[in-house]
Structure 1
């Protein structure tokens, strides 16, 4: 098993622990997806991390303070860092769409490596940007599915395609799986 899948397994397990403790729900698209495998017994686990705020009021980042270091729930962040992964912040590039507000992509990888083991992205939405973004998504050949959480991008047959992307009127969130969307604290 490669390290990337192990890390993703640790992150999925961490989020599942977080979700079961917080009572949060993932939309229908998230309920149908399942992690590909559980982490092996020797996977590192965060020892003293705790879930982030669970109130309905989440302070969203601004253009000035958005950061990969504050994007993820502390439990998930600690699990990724415990396996020597670090985030490499970069500007939003999803589908070539340029959001007007705060936006960031956070590929997590090993120092000196050229590939990410986990990839998270988030963008604020303003006015009709959700509609504009969905139009770009459809132009790129992706289907969508709606539920109470928002609009989910339906994964394509492409193994490198979108796995977990949720669009609401307020934000867009991208995670390795639909279950990991709530790991992004601004997507709560």
Structure 2
């Protein structure tokens, strides 16, 4: 009963892992092909990748040709920095969530301005010097007055609309 012992080198990547990695790159390639030219301009990649994507855009109605082109894009992606490309894709895909988060932060800033008054106004003016000090203080005072009198928050809405184009 003579058995051979085969040592497995831990640095070796299995054939299955290589196939999974290639399939993941093809999925990223599909995402890139689905983007329009304006969105593609925001992706940091090489000219060869952009050329392969533009060829894929020209292929229409030919399922097998498009599949082969996406496979080629996956091959080109092996030489690219995939983490940077994936981060850029995530940013493009999550624009709505980012806008929602920024709007929530702006609402919080507005509430802090109303609560803290002139101290917060001064801090905000340091951060955003293009804001008009007089208008900002006037809107904050009006919002405070409406809050104390329990009136509808018209000035708070005006303050939000004043801050939105500058602070977003």
Give the TM interval when normalised to the shorter protein: under 0.3
Structure showing the higher strand proportion among its residues? 1
Asked which structure has the greater RCO (Cα within 8 Å, sep 6+), the reply is: 1
- Calculate the TM-score normalised by the size of structure 2: 0.21
- Calculate the TM-score normalised by the size of structure 1: 0.19
Q: Which has the larger radius of gyration?
A: 2
Structure showing the higher helix proportion among its residues? 2
